[in-house]
Amino acid sequence: MNISKQIAQWRIVAASVCGTSHLRNKQLCQDAHHWQILADNILVAAAADGAGSASLGKVGAMLAVETAIENLSSKGLTRSSLTNDANVRSLLNDALLAAKKAVEQEAVACEKQLADLATTLIIMVATPEVVAVAQIGDGLAVAKDRLGNLLAVTMPDSGEYINETTFLTSPTALDTAQMRLWRTDIVNVGIITDGLQMLALNMVVGEPHKPFFFPLFEFVANAEDKTAAKEQLVKFLRSERIAQRTDDDLTLIIAAFNNS
């Protein structure tokens, strides 16, 4: 019998780790993530993957996630303000624009080309009854509903070739952004960058892989000690089993809404 009644709230664990190929070449981790739990059980989260070819990809990625989250956090969001689809879309669009602008300004300030700060960006707003995601480039966002369905909220947007994608800094970025919204009972949400795509996505059927996400969701739902949970997640991302399959930077954000 569960006698320890929990307060309804989001639990979240997130980590970005450097890929083994970047470690070998003494490069920085080009991935970044950021999140906040706002009032009224609103979770905002973002992940970005700076382009390996961009000299300041890491800066672009960090700036993008921080600006996007700051922008969303400053809006005084309430769950009732998220009941209107058009509102949600314009919120996400604003956050994308703010992130793009911040990266552009940084490029000017550093006297660099915009492409030097190229990065992908995934932004999520989630409450127990809605999940909304804006995404430029690859990586993906998922959600699990109360019935145990795993929803592919967004899918990787890569070009014809696996080593091509769209970036926040591309001229067409905002036009090609994926904008997705689901209204259902949300229990879990997750975001990954492209480094985990081959492990977390079944490419043949084009669906997120349940046996990848579900144990992670269970893990975060039971994660009482935040520091220990983060350590475990980092350890997992650095494990030999993962290193055998991918040498790219990895970001994983997983969250659970505990309402028991």
* DSSP 8-class letter at 76: -
Strands laid side by side in the 140-145 sheet: 9-17, 250-258, 186-192, 140-145, 150-152
Helical ranges in the chain per DSSP H = 20-24, 57-73, 85-109, 173-176, 197-200, 210-221, 226-237, 240-243
Q: Does residue 59 belong to the site contacting another protein (CB under 8 A)?
A: no
Q: Does residue 205 belong to the site contacting another protein (CB under 8 A)?
A: yes
The residue within the footprint of another protein, chosen from 223, 250, 255, 256 (CB under 8 A), is 223
The CA distance from 188 to 257, in Å, is 6
Q: Which stretch binds another protein (CB under 8 A): 77-85, 126-134, 176-184, 199-207?
A: 199-207
The CA distance from 221 to 256, in Å, is 5
The CA distance from 106 to 117, in Å, is 9
Q: Does residue 216 belong to the site contacting another protein (CB under 8 A)?
A: yes
The CA distance from 183 to 152, in Å, is 13
| x-or-dash string of contact with another protein, 12-41, rule CB under 8 A | -------x-x--------------------
Decide: 250 and 23 in contact? Cβ < 8 Å.
no
Q: Which of 131, 160, 125, 132 is nearest to 146 (CA)?
A: 131
The CA distance from 160 to 72, in Å, is 33
Q: Does residue 206 belong to the site contacting another protein (CB under 8 A)?
A: yes
CA dihedral 136, 91, 44, 183 (to 10 degrees): -90
Bridge-based pairing of strands 207-208 and 201-202 is antiparallel
Q: Which of residues 63-92 bind another protein (CB under 8 A)?
A: none
CB of 226 to another protein, least distance (A): 12
Q: Does residue 177 belong to the site contacting another protein (CB under 8 A)?
A: no
Q: Which stretch binds another protein (CB under 8 A): 59-67, 83-91, 175-183, 240-248?
A: 240-248
The residue within the footprint of another protein, chosen from 10, 35, 167, 257 (CB under 8 A), is 167
Q: Which of residues 126-165 bind another protein (CB under 8 A)?
A: 137-138, 158, 160-165
Tell the residue number behind the tokens 């091509």, with chain if given: 164
Q: Does residue 198 belong to the site contacting another protein (CB under 8 A)?
A: yes
Cβ proximity to another protein: between 85 and 231 the closer is 231
Q: Which stretch binds another protein (CB under 8 A): 83-91, 93-101, 140-148, 230-238?
A: 230-238
- Say how many residues make up the chain: 260
Total site size for another protein, rule CB under 8 A? 54
Q: Does residue 248 belong to the site contacting another protein (CB under 8 A)?
A: yes
Positions in the binding site for another protein (CB under 8 A): 1-4, 19, 21, 49, 51-53, 118, 120, 137-138, 158, 160-165, 167, 194-195, 198-206, 209, 211-212, 215-216, 219, 222-224, 228, 232-233, 235-236, 239-242, 245, 247-248
